[in-house]
Amino acid sequence: MLATPDTPADDQTAAFRADVLAGLSAPIPAVPARWLYDHRGSELFDEITRLPSYYPTRTEVAIFHEIMHDIAARIPMGAAVVEFGAGSATKTPILLKAITPAAYVPVDISGDYLEQSAADLQHDFPALDVIPVVADFAREFSLPGGIDHLPKLGFFPGSTIGNFVPRSATDLLRQFRSLLGDGAHLLIGMDRVKPVGRLIAAYDDPEGVTAQFTLNLLTRINRELDGDIPVEAFRHDARWNDILSRIEIHLVAMRDVAFTVAGTAFNFAKGSSIHAENSHKYGPRGGRVLLLAGGWTPVAEWTDPGHDFAVILAEAQPVRFAP
């Protein structure tokens, strides 16, 4: 297994600080959702995926089990699978078993989490060339040279695309397109629009795990950016924004609060909020249009019997596409 040089930890902290200071000063205060996933955040998200009301993970896994023979028939053997994210111990092996790729390249911002999951996978697939890349997949990066000649399959499960507003989602898909090149495929999961009650239940569970997950952002800011935010003064709030077709997660101040982060003072009035996450939901047409706008032509789409979640296989558009 080849190791890739890590991004220095202080670069990460500097990026986190810049995002938080700019985000908390913005007219609509917001922090990019990627900062929810520190070590504790990843643990809590893992717990979320097992909650009874959080349907996406188990639904997507069930779809994967159903469709892998079909995927295997459509993807050439000996491909390089490039996963955007560290990979899940449940989903990734289903794909790797089905298509027997030559290489697996997980790309994730969190170095230690990535090294660990890559090592576990290498143990289970000894013949596979596992090449983790520490990078923020939303920014530009290069693939390891050794996989140049292999057919490419991008893997972006979990409805992570839903974290991005459509404009950024389009940029991201276009970047995947240019990174993976002509002839590549992309296998992507998208959560579907459904009745509001079920959506809210999925993002505001009675167990309170999602609330802990969101509030952990404030704990992380306090720890890593020398902050003194009174975490107990904020509550997690999941709202459905119908016109933008997304769940929004906010941290709402329950009283007037004043605090500092990295030496900068902030005031939040009672009832005001920090927007911590979006989770966009797509209908069948919206999902396909998003892919098309991002340079990918959908070739097959599968859902569960309840149409709660969709898995789409798309092909890189040739540079000259359309009449």
Interface positions with ligand AVJ (CB under 6 A): 48, 56, 158-160, 162-163, 203, 210, 213, 277, 279
The two structure tokens encoding residue 105: 């390249």
Element (H, E) at 241: strand 234-241
**What's the half-sphere exposure (Cβ side, CA atoms, 13 Å) at 258?**
1
- For the chain, how far is it from start to end, CA to CA, in angstroms? 45
Q: Which is nearer to ligand AVJ, 146 or 286 (CB)?
A: 286
Helix (H, G, I), strand (E, B) or coil at 1: coil
Q: Which is nearer to ligand AVJ, 67 or 199 (CB)?
A: 199
Q: Which is nearer to ligand AVJ, 129 or 204 (CB)?
A: 204
Q: Which is nearer to ligand AVJ, 33 or 75 (CB)?
A: 33
Say how far apart CA 53 and CA 322 lie, in whole Å: 42
The type of residue at 284 is P
Nearest approach, Cβ of 254 to ligand AVJ (angstroms)? Answer: 20
Do residues 312 and 300 lie in contact, with contact meaning Cβ atoms separated by under 8 Å?
Answer: yes
Nearest approach, Cβ of 279 to ligand AVJ (angstroms)? Answer: 3
Nearest approach, Cβ of 307 to ligand AVJ (angstroms)? Answer: 17
Q: Which is nearer to ligand AVJ, 48 or 172 (CB)?
A: 48
Q: Which is nearer to ligand AVJ, 48 or 135 (CB)?
A: 48
Selection from 131, 45, 30, 43 nearest residue 81 by Cα: 131
The type of residue at 177 is R
Nearest approach, Cβ of 321 to ligand AVJ (angstroms)? Answer: 29
Tokens 């996963």, residue located = 83
Which residue is at the shortest CB distance from ligand AVJ? 279
CA distances to 10, 154, 170, 216 from 42, in Å: 20, 22, 25, 10
Nearest approach, Cβ of 108 to ligand AVJ (angstroms)? Answer: 13
Say how far apart CA 46 and CA 60 lie, in whole Å: 15
Nearest approach, Cβ of 204 to ligand AVJ (angstroms)? Answer: 9
Q: Which is nearer to ligand AVJ, 56 or 294 (CB)?
A: 56
β-pairing, 185-191 vs 309-316, is antiparallel
Say how far apart CA 152 and CA 83 lie, in whole Å: 10
